[in-house]
Chains A and B, each alone.
Chain A
Amino acid sequence: MATAKLKTAIDGGVRPDQPKPGPQTAEIIPLKRAEEGALRRQAGRFGAWILVSVLPPMLTVALLLLIWQLAFSGPGATLPPPSTVWKEAHDLILQPFYWAGSQDIGLGWRVLTSLQRVAIGFGLAAVVGVAVGSIIGQSIWAMRGLDPVFQVLRTVPPLAWLPISLAAFRDANPSAIFVIFITAIWPIIINTAVGIRNIPQDYRNVAAVLRLNSAEFFLKIMLPGAAPYIFTGLRIGIGLSWLAIVAAEMLTGGVGIGFFIWDAWNSSRLPDIVVALLYIGLVGFILDKFVAAAGRFVTRGTAAS
């Protein structure tokens, strides 16, 4: 592989149509050629990235927009086509951070408000979930007793928690945060527990020979040992949080992106809803990639070996 690249780099430097370098000495010619080759290689890699990762989704989006436009252009269409969305709601796309009064704000602000709730709810779920999962993973009987219960609770949809939550907290904001918490926590608990169970006996033996106490064992063996599993749980959890926030905000009101959709629906602003969906999808995508990247960073080295 490396030699093949080197070869193209050298070949690339001796194109016959190039004028022969004049006063340069023999020593620096290979260096120049190598540099040139490296540049070209980099450009080639960028081109390949565009071709493989950027072009296909762009084409897909263009095609979908076209189909959507054609399908909803006729008279009597129930949904707005992309052209109408752009005509009526392009300010929402172009100005995410405008501010003109407490309910007339850009979608960027609304997303940030929602993200703040997610940060609190998901943060709590992460801390509690990892702690509870670690305890459960340590005991085969806790695992046997609790796992089925969690598997059932896990499937309860976010919105189903809302009435209970509203009744308990009697306030919209803590209720929304609780719904996120309770939605996100199950995969974190379950994955952490499985990760702890799967820590190889060898690592436990090392800890035993060193006489690590339980705090040291937790921080130095359990957390890093189970990190790949924990991050799988966190990644599922952040996705569920984002699902839950929109649902919860639709009912609890406020300035979040979820309530914006509900509000737009009540005042028949369908193009606004379409733009809001776009925001939600993109933010959810970014959150997922962010947690995945954090996981890759923390567990570098752990997955291998």
Chain B
Amino acid sequence: MSRPDVTNAPYLKLDHIAKSFQRGASSTEVLRDINLSIADGEYVAIIGHSGCGKSTLLNIIAGLTPVSSGAVLLENQEVNSPGPDRAVVFQNHSLLPWLTVYENVALAVNKVFGSRKSRAERDAWIRHNLALVHMTHALDKRPSEISGGMKQRVGIARALAMEPKILLLDEPFGALDALTRAHLQDSVMEIHARLKNTMIMITHDVDEAVLLSDRIVMMTNGPAATIGEVMEVPLERPRKRLDLVEDPTYTHARAGVLEFLYARHKAPSIAA
């Protein structure tokens, strides 16, 4: 597999990003000096202890949270407001409970492609994206009527249906049981292989990070968290979780992340 060229023209560039939250007179520095370049089609996982600022970083890339200093550059253009080119799969699915599965995806498709696609084309596109995540059997169900894993699938379909340049996933499978999670991880790998889109995923699951990503970005503990280390995962795709159990590259990568998280940058509560 040819690795996309990162050095020449970064697709997405995080340039000296810092973020402080003001609350009254006091200010907490959450992120400091974040620099990262991501290539088109790359799958990047961000891992770090809870509260270090992963969600804040993802929201900055999404444009939902403004930076304090620095810039996010997408194809050399600064982005500082949210848009469908950077679709987000939220941690708690964020489906609108008053809309059906179909309508939730339709809301996005009609907004993004309202002027470019005919009604029939949009309908086909909605169904196509729900088929990608195997949810066509529940088109008319409301979010309260389907399981957590299914909601997360619909959230992914909604994000994919925007045809984003970058898909941002904030601990997308964090609230799911192990079996459902494995299922969805396979779905995401399949989608990534098929669509070759750029994905940035936050996770706190070491195996998930190694299994899915091309690179793992490891963050130090807050306050003033930054990128501690970036690790390549040179595993061939398509990856099969069963084959990887014994794979030395896999075990090595896994050990590297574990060492970073639990030896060099223990969670504050564990360290104390």
Annotate B69-90 by CB proximity to A: 1 below 8 A, 0 otherwise: 0000000000001111011101
For B145, give the chain A residue with the smallest CB separation: A301
Judge if B92 is at the interface, Cβ distance under 8 Å.
yes
Whether A210 contacts B108 by the Cβ 8 Å rule is yes
Judge if A51 is at the interface, Cβ distance under 8 Å.
no
* Contact A224 to B64, CB < 8 A, known contacts A205-B90, A208-B82: no
Q: What CA separation (Å) do A210 and B87 show in the bound complex?
A: 8
Judge if A221 is at the interface, Cβ distance under 8 Å.
yes
CB distance from A230 to the nearest CB of B (A): 13
CB distance from A51 to the nearest CB of B (A): 32
Residues of B within 8 A of A221 (CB): 96
CB distance from A237 to the nearest CB of B (A): 22
CB distance from B126 to the nearest CB of A (A): 14
- 8 other A-B residue contacts (CB within 8 Å) besides A202-B94, A209-B83: A205-B64, A205-B82, A206-B96, A209-B62, A209-B162, A210-B108, A225-B96, A304-B144
Q: What CA separation (Å) do A103 and B88 show in the bound complex?
A: 67
Selected from B63, B94, B111, B112, the residue in CB contact (under 8 A) with A203 is B94
Whether A220 contacts B86 by the Cβ 8 Å rule is no
Whether B98 contacts A210 by the Cβ 8 Å rule is no
For B97, give the chain A residue with the smallest CB separation: A305
Cross-chain pairs A/B with CB under 8 angstroms, 12 sampled: A200-B94, A205-B90, A208-B64, A209-B82, A209-B83, A209-B84, A209-B87, A211-B82, A211-B83, A224-B99, A225-B96, A301-B97
Q: What CA separation (Å) do A304 and B87 show in the bound complex?
A: 26
Interface residues, chain A, with chain B CB atoms under 8 Å away: 200, 202-203, 205-206, 208-212, 216, 220-221, 224-225, 227, 299, 301-302, 304-305
Looking at chain B, what size class is its interface with the partner chain? 20 to 34
CB distance from B80 to the nearest CB of A (A): 12
Main secondary structure of the interface of A (DSSP, over half): helix
Q: What CA separation (Å) do A170 and B84 show in the bound complex?
A: 56
Residues of B within 8 A of A206 (CB): 90, 94, 96
Selected from B88, B96, B143, the residue in CB contact (under 8 A) with A224 is B96
Q: What CA separation (Å) do A226 and B142 show in the bound complex?
A: 18
Interface residues of B in 182-231 (CB under 8 A from A): none
Judge if B9 is at the interface, Cβ distance under 8 Å.
no
Whether A301 contacts B112 by the Cβ 8 Å rule is no
Whether A211 contacts B84 by the Cβ 8 Å rule is yes
CB distance from B115 to the nearest CB of A (A): 13
Q: What CA separation (Å) do A302 and B112 show in the bound complex?
A: 25
Judge if B107 is at the interface, Cβ distance under 8 Å.
yes
Q: What CA separation (Å) do A208 and B84 show in the bound complex?
A: 9
Q: What CA separation (Å) do A225 and B112 show in the bound complex?
A: 22
* Contact A305 to B144, CB < 8 A, known contacts A208-B64, A211-B111: yes
Residues of B within 8 A of A225 (CB): 96, 98
Whether B111 contacts A299 by the Cβ 8 Å rule is no
